[in-house]
Structure 1
Amino acid sequence: MQFTSVDLERVESTWQQFVPSASLQNADPRSFRFDWRSEELETASFVDYRLSAQVHSRAEPQDQLLVCRVDAPDARVWSGRASLDAETVWMSDGTEVEARWDRSARVRAIVFDHQAAQSRARQITGDDRRELRTTGLAPHSVMDSQRWERMFAYLDQSLRDGIADDLLVAELERHALMITLSAFPTTFSESLRRPAQRAGAPGAVRRALAYIDANAHLAITIDDVAAASYISTRGLQYAFRRALDITPADALRRARLDGAHRDLRNGRGRSVGEVARRWGFSNSSRFASAYREAYGMTPALPST
């Protein structure tokens, strides 16, 4: 959905379709302009709008995870008596958050259905009893905030490109949720920040992960991983998806990135390119992009 309006009531009613608790207070209609864009995913909504006016807004999401960034030079964001950094994203699953700006702002948000997000987090971690709750409004770190911003930009461009395939849309939503849950403090933070969850995984998956850990520096293939796990390649793909919600190729790529990260951090190599090739990355630009996505920084050896 995309439109431009100068109707204050339309703005509030549109935003309330996504966050029923949202309200605009003390908005000045004399300088009012609203440019709205939203996209529906599988169980989440993508929102990006610009609002020109003196505005005081309030949101207290229910049955949702609201992840939001208010971008304005004079923006102030707070919850109760606690001020939030107006230059970074925040997340709430029920805590009231307010924002104020005097001229114009760009507001970017992803609204996840809480139950669907909880089910996916349980599936990925193997913890079927844990309730999903936020334990803080701000990201873990500046790097986590930047990683979320890059994810939002990628999601934005992908949706602008007009993706119509339901499987691709579902994968985009899964990616957005995992970046969000890993960036913010929640009851799943500890589980998500561990290496791949092995305890609750089938034996074939645990064997595959152990083989990947021991041999990621070698030119192994997914067929090799499957053979070492005593399962067919197709069966291994299915087992990984069911147990971890990733593919064996994802796990191998993560292990190689972790290995390259350790070597770079410890200065084991003459150049970034040499370390990348050692861990199976022949394309330096793709390696740099994947490294920044994983660690929030450009790959580099320690300065001497």
Structure 2
Amino acid sequence: MQSLNFESDDLAVTEEFLSNAYTRVQISNHGPHQVRTRIRREVLGSINFDQLDMGFDMAYDADPLGRVCLVTVHSGRIEENYHDSGPDTFTPGQTGLLTPPDLPYSGVIRTSRYGITMFDPAILDRVATNEGGQRVRVDGHRPVTIAAGNRLRRVLTHLQQIAADPDAANSPLTVTTASDYLAATVLATMSTTADNEPNAIDRHDAHPHTVRRAIAYMESHLGERIAITDIAAATFVTPRALQLAFRRHLDTTPLEYLQRLRLSAAHEQLGAALPGDGQTVATIAYRWGFTHPGRFATAYRHRYGRPPRQTLRE
């Protein structure tokens, strides 16, 4: 895509533009302000740098984007509903993963100015060395440390400045180098599935005791917003060691296991609900970190072979 500028005060026009420029999305106004949308895009090879100014509270429900999407909030806040780990909120000065490439996403943008950086996941595959040639995934939505977040934010700002320079943006060497630079920074600052050789400490820490401590922490924080970095910190290991331990002993990832625990908790509460106590599928799903009822129902049916409403009725 080429550079673009978009402005509109019309909700339907804004929805049509977002669907064409990003992915199919449904939006609505969830606040008192009138619709006002401003979007500017700079392009550097296959990387898009978009600056967005949403002058209203825009609720959105979107199909998978197909691209890695990093966000940096300048003002307001973004309340994102993560399909695998529940809701989280980005506030000014924070940077992270807005949505994985292959999952639908939803949330509310609260009168916010923010930037998003989108790129093909294949860039990560090219730079990383991953066992068996498997695709590299960013499997946490926050940088691994505060310092890592600051580093990622500086690199994104630098690359956006390069994209705004026509001479630099049209240089094939600059474009290739910038793509590798971005991928290397993401791999170094975010939790990913890249199979960089674990160090001796990580291999030592990836034992069954680590898994048991992590599961105990998950079970006591099921209704809270926790990321893989929180689990690793509570377990006294690195995120890399934590992921290695879960793959080695349970053949899964920490976040997949967390979703399994949350589904089990919701299943138990659905079965224990009594007629007339006011509980609904939506309220129970939200209690355990599932903010999108439709996606909760899909995950529940896949695990238990029937819709959650049927369990609630019984």
CA distance in 2, matches of 1:142, 1:158: 25
2:192 aligned to which of 186, 189, 209: 186
CA distance in 1, matches of 2:69, 2:140: 13
Partner residue of 1:224? none
1:93 aligned to which of 101, 116, 120: 101
Residues 117, 70 of structure 1: alpha-carbon distance in 2 compared, 3 angstrom cutoff: same
TM-score by length of 1: 0.53
CA contact (8 A) 1:84 1:138 kept: no
Matched, 1:143 2:151: no
CA contact (8 A) 2:42 2:160 kept: no
**Aligned-pair CA distance for 1:50:** 0.6
Quick check: which one's strand share is greater?
A: 2
CA distance in 1, matches of 2:142, 2:46: 23
**Aligned-pair CA distance for 1:74:** 4.8
Residues 117, 22 of structure 1: alpha-carbon distance in 2 compared, 3 angstrom cutoff: farther
Partner residue of 2:118? 111
CA contact (8 A) 1:8 1:29 kept: no
CA contact (8 A) 2:80 2:88 kept: yes
| Counterpart secondary structure, 2:188 | helix
Query: For 1:162-208, what per-residue CA distance to the aligned partner results, in whole angstroms no more than 9, with x for missing partners?
Result: 222222123222222221232211111x51887xxxxxxxxxxxxxx
CA contact (8 A) 1:130 1:187 kept: no
**Aligned-pair CA distance for 1:21:** 4.1
Partner residue of 2:293? none
Matched, 1:52 2:52: no
**Aligned-pair CA distance for 1:105:** 0.7
Q: CA RMSD of the aligned region, Å? A: 2.9
CA distance in 2, matches of 1:21, 1:83: 21
Matched, 1:131 2:144: no
CA contact (8 A) 2:64 2:102 kept: yes
CA contact (8 A) 1:182 1:193 kept: no
| Counterpart secondary structure, 2:143 | coil
Matched, 1:66 2:105: no
Residue identity in the other structure for 2:139: T
Residue identity in the other structure for 1:132: V
- Aligned positions, number: 189
Residues 126, 78 of structure 1: alpha-carbon distance in 2 compared, 3 angstrom cutoff: closer
Matched, 1:79 2:97: no
Partner residue of 1:34? 37
Matched, 1:156 2:156: no
Residue identity in the other structure for 1:33: R
Residues 173, 12 of structure 1: alpha-carbon distance in 2 compared, 3 angstrom cutoff: farther
**Aligned-pair CA distance for 1:101:** 4.0
**Aligned-pair CA distance for 1:127:** 5.0
Residues 74, 108 of structure 1: alpha-carbon distance in 2 compared, 3 angstrom cutoff: closer
Query: For 1:44-70, what per-residue CA distance to the aligned partner results, in whole angstroms no more than 9, with x for missing partners?
Result: 322111110121123453432122234
Superposition pairs for residues 237-252 of structure 1, below 5 Å?
Answer: none
CA distance in 2, matches of 1:119, 1:76: 29
1:165 aligned to which of 141, 164, 171: 171
Residues 22, 82 of structure 1: alpha-carbon distance in 2 compared, 3 angstrom cutoff: same
| Counterpart secondary structure, 1:94 | coil
Residues 65, 54 of structure 1: alpha-carbon distance in 2 compared, 3 angstrom cutoff: same
Partner residue of 1:5? 8
Residue identity in the other structure for 2:196: S
CA contact (8 A) 1:52 1:105 kept: yes
CA distance in 2, matches of 1:151, 1:17: 28
CA contact (8 A) 2:24 2:63 kept: yes
CA contact (8 A) 2:124 2:183 kept: no
**Aligned-pair CA distance for 1:150:** 0.7
| Counterpart secondary structure, 1:136 | strand
CA distance in 2, matches of 1:27, 1:118: 36
Greater relative CO (CA pairs within 8 A, separation 6+): 2
Superposition pairs for residues 207-222 of structure 1, below 5 Å?
Answer: none
CA contact (8 A) 2:69 2:116 kept: yes
After TM superposition, the structure 1 stretch with the greater mean CA deviation from structure 2, 146-155 or 89-98, is 89-98
**Aligned-pair CA distance for 1:20:** 0.9
CA distance in 2, matches of 1:82, 1:126: 27
2:27 aligned to which of 24, 40, 46: 24
Structure 1, unaligned runs of 5 or more: 195-304
| Counterpart secondary structure, 2:133 | coil
Partner residue of 2:303? none
CA distance in 2, matches of 1:56, 1:128: 40
CA distance in 2, matches of 1:75, 1:30: 16
